[in-house]
Structure 1
């Protein structure tokens, strides 16, 4: 059965379709702004990633605004009528010298309320002025410009339009050849023009224009005129340039971060002993001296992407004694690892020269205090004599060793000592402990700080180690002890790296 409603004219259907597209564009623009506010790109502008993100938001918003403006201009050009009062603006169609009155949308139509309509038109006013049209008649030498094109070039109607011969004088010298070639191809060979060039306006402003033009042929197929649409894309190109620069900045910083991390890893690997499995010191003995079975492990931070300045080391010294040391230097990355390598080298050198742990700490403090780059550090140095099984140790604001004996654990009482680099001329004490066969000594650089919940993984490092006493008593090797300690440290968040050294008296 045929419909009782008359068929909608094609012009009205096209008008409704444009209204629907404009409405969808408005919703898209509103959605972009809503997500943009939630994402808060301005708060992250201090970082390259934040600046790149903000530039991408600006580009998306600009494209949505530009699309809405061009659709509105197209609607006004094609219809010339509307539900609201016609505006006093006129828009010239490309190739036409008759102005057509543009009309605004209905106050309660597809665009929304009267307030939102006014805001949309104010927002798009500058966008409509970015697109203009022109026609150059080759037969009469008549030039027709739209009102918008005068504004783009910074000229007035009294100044008149520019001819094709005058146009290159306004164009940057670098762009003149390309523009002249494109226009010549259009007029001589009938090729369409599609390109960009930059102009310098009378006020000194530089604008980037996108030109799309075609030849208009007469009845004999010869070029009678050339019409073109010129779009001011200066803001778009600036936004795209900001996106490119931000992306390049991010890529450079990421490359620098990867390079620094690789350098830090290489420094750390070259400084720390390459242990695989258990190790025994001294390597050779008479069978009566108390040798140490050793195991060590490095745990990186769970929150920092760069390597820290922690270290662990065990070294057989001249005369048969053994050096056991762990420590940590503030900071991350190459500066921290290079400082760690410097301190660890000093510890090895002075211990090999016979310097006792207490005086050695004083020398380390002076070394760090005189460093060009200020830093703080903590260290634990132990000198073990296998013949007497005596352990002489000193510390500088560092966690004390934990001694496990007979199924129970004890945190050794620390001698006096402050952080390295904190005070000039600081003095450091030292203590001596007598170890027995079967004793297990755990040296570490700390662990998760307590947060008050009482959960096992949030206990202080020493408390968590003491809970391991029954398990360490059942362990048969230093490697089994190390595995238990690493599991205890590996259960929570770590803002810094952790080094663990386990020494078991045979």
Structure 2
């Protein structure tokens, strides 16, 4: 332990025993609370955020362990003392603190007048040296350090002995068993009656576990930042891919562009409550070579780039087959085969409609998707769905096709199931059907879409969604 009587200052007084006991009690309680949090923090190697939280708990426990050790030393008081011979009242440590945990905190004193060196038992343990061995002199101390850390110790000792500066630094030592330890060293010169340096004392603390804990926290933070960067990049790429694939038109679209019996069409994509969840939802409308109009919506399982890239593939195939004149039912069968044979199999739902403006007939088919809602004369109803299973769920299945005749003023609503899946209600068409009076008053499909967004665009929606409204005779 350090000499506590200096020529230029009085010896410090020992803190009140009861006050130190109270601090130790509080530290022990806090340590137990933190340890309980650490045990409850189940490690998930796939979750960087949880790894970082666990590392912080580990580091806090290490800090509290060291705090408890220091307070125990403070409560025990000074060890047995004996004279150094430099002055009648000069004292230095001769025995270690029994209350100190091993290999945590040690002390040393180097007497410059007698060349005598004194180490505490804990310092022998920290440096891994036998108790019967001679303590190292100041000249020998750098030999146990890593070569790159030796200049630091030399500079600290020189500044202390020559300039009287306190020491405060950290270095790495190599024990005889080849184990590497990190040691924090603080100390001061001890002056004689003439103000000259008579000896130097130091306290050395093994901070290896603390540094490892800090490194674990730092690595976990870097991992969190890296994953957040990846998530932001993937989110941006998914958004760009989605925007590139979905129809470029905004506002209302009239199809076919020429002739009577056109559909007034408007659509909207609604992001989820967490805007980071970019899924495989799509909507589409296009004029076919024979003058008919294709309407489709769909939703592939998953989020991010895998879902949006699979959606791009599926939507491209759907458009190509529709242009080739394939009927909606057969088209769904081909899409199902496409998903089954793809390198990355996926599940999805889809709805495909083909409208003939000359007859007003809407032919449609679905694959595990919510059926269209037809609004007429101020009321709405769900169209009975033809048979169809999820795309990618089974092989060699047939998808039925159905027809319905649209009348002037009819409003057809296609949507993905994320639209009505909300935290305050279950999935279902009831809320959409309740918009019938507003649709009856609307003059355009865009006004109908605006009503849907006002009703379903709130922050409580759990998933992203698409809605497409087609108004006949508008």
TM-score (norm 1): 0.82
- Any idea what SS the aligned residue of 1:329 has? strand
* Partner Cα distance (1:240, 1:459) in 2: 46
User: Is the contact made by 1:216 and 1:227 (CA closer than 8 Å) also made in structure 2?
Assistant: yes
2:405 maps to what in 1? Answer: 434
Counterpart in the other structure of 1:71? 71
Partner of 1:489: 456
Q: Deviations over 1:76-123 (max 9, x none)?
A: 234x6xxxxxxxxx68999845536969xxxxxxxxxxxxxxxxx6xx
The structure 2 residue matched to 1:125, chosen from 97, 101, 109, is 101
Q: Unaligned regions of 5+ residues in structure 2, if any?
A: 1-9, 85-89
Which residue of 370, 386, 397 corresponds with 1:399? 370
* Range moving further from structure 2, 90-99 or 300-309: 90-99
Q: Tell me the alpha carbon deviations over residues 449-500 of structure 1, each in whole angstroms, 9 at most, x when there is no partner.
A: 789xxx9x62543233223323322222212222233344346854422111
1:352 aligns with 2:323: yes
CA 1:32–1:295: 2 relative to 1, 3 Å = farther
Between the aligned partners of 2:415 and 2:67, the Cα distance in structure 1 is: 63
Q: Provide the C-alpha distance between the structure 2 equivalents of 1:434 and 1:411, rounded to a whole number of angstroms.
A: 14
- Aligned residue in 1 for 2:466: 499
Q: Deviations for 1:149-205, whole angstroms, at most 9, x for unmatched residues?
A: 111111222112112232222111221222223323433444432211111112222
Q: For the residues of structure 2 that align with 1:152 and 1:471, how far apart are their CA atoms?
A: 80
Query: Greater shift after overlay, 474-483 or 21-30?
Result: 21-30
2:5 aligned partner: none
Moved more, 297-306 or 248-257: 297-306
The match for 1:31 is 30
Aligned to 1:160: 134
Q: Once the two structures are superposed, what CA deviation does each residue of 1:396-435 show, in whole Å capped at 9, x if it has no partner?
A: 1111111112222222222222211112233222222221
1:403-414 map, 5 Å: 403-414=374-385
Question: Separation in 1 of the partners of 2:138 and 2:14?
Answer: 35
Does 1:142 find its partner at 2:142? no
Between 300-309 and 261-270, report the one with greater CA deviation: 300-309
Aligned partners of 1:52 and 1:243 also within 8 Å: yes
Assess, with a 3 A threshold, how the Cα gap between structure 1 residues 136 and 445 changes in structure 2: closer, same or farther: same
Asked if 1:425 is matched to 2:396, the reply is: yes
Unaligned runs of 5+ in 1: 1-9, 81-89, 104-120
Shift in Å at residue 220 of structure 1? 5.5
Which deviates more from structure 2 when the two are superposed, residues 34-43 or residues 196-205? 34-43
User: 2:213 aligned with 1:239, yes or no?
Assistant: yes
Q: Deviations over 1:368-394 (max 9, x none)?
A: 111211210111111111122221111
Q: Is the 8 A contact 1:389 1:436 kept in 2?
A: yes
2:149 matched residue in structure 1:
175
State the match for 1:186 in structure 2: 160
- Deviation, 1:293, is 0.7
Contact 2:298 2:350 (8 Å CA) reproduced = yes
Q: What's the counterpart of residue 363 of structure 1? A: 334
Deviations 1:2-43 (A, max 9, x none): xxxxxxxx9998532x64244135314413533663686522
Q: Distance in 2 between matches of 1:11 and 1:213?
A: 16
Higher RCO (CA-CA < 8 Å; seq separation 6+):
2
Structure 1 residue 269 displacement after superposition: 1.2
Matched, 1:49 2:49: yes
Counterparts in 2 of 1:486 and 1:248: CA distance versus 1, 3 Å: same
Q: Which residue of 1 aligns with 2:202?
A: 228
Tell me if 1:461 matches 2:428: yes
Post-superposition CA distance 1:55-87 (Å, at most 9, x none): 222222322332232133134234x6xxxxxxx
The superposition leaves residues 184-235 of structure 1 with CA deviations (integer Å, 9 ceiling, x where unpaired) of 3433444432211111112222111111233334455554432221111111
Are the equivalent residues in 1 in contact too, given 2:109–2:200 (CA < 8 A)?
A: yes
SS of the residue 1:330 aligns to: strand
Asked whether the 8 Å contact 1:136–1:227 carries over to 2, the reply is: yes
DSSP 3-state at the match of 1:470: helix
User: Is residue 2:94 matched to residue 1:99?
Assistant: yes
> Do the aligned partners of 1:448 and 1:459 also contact (CA within 8 Å) in 2?
no
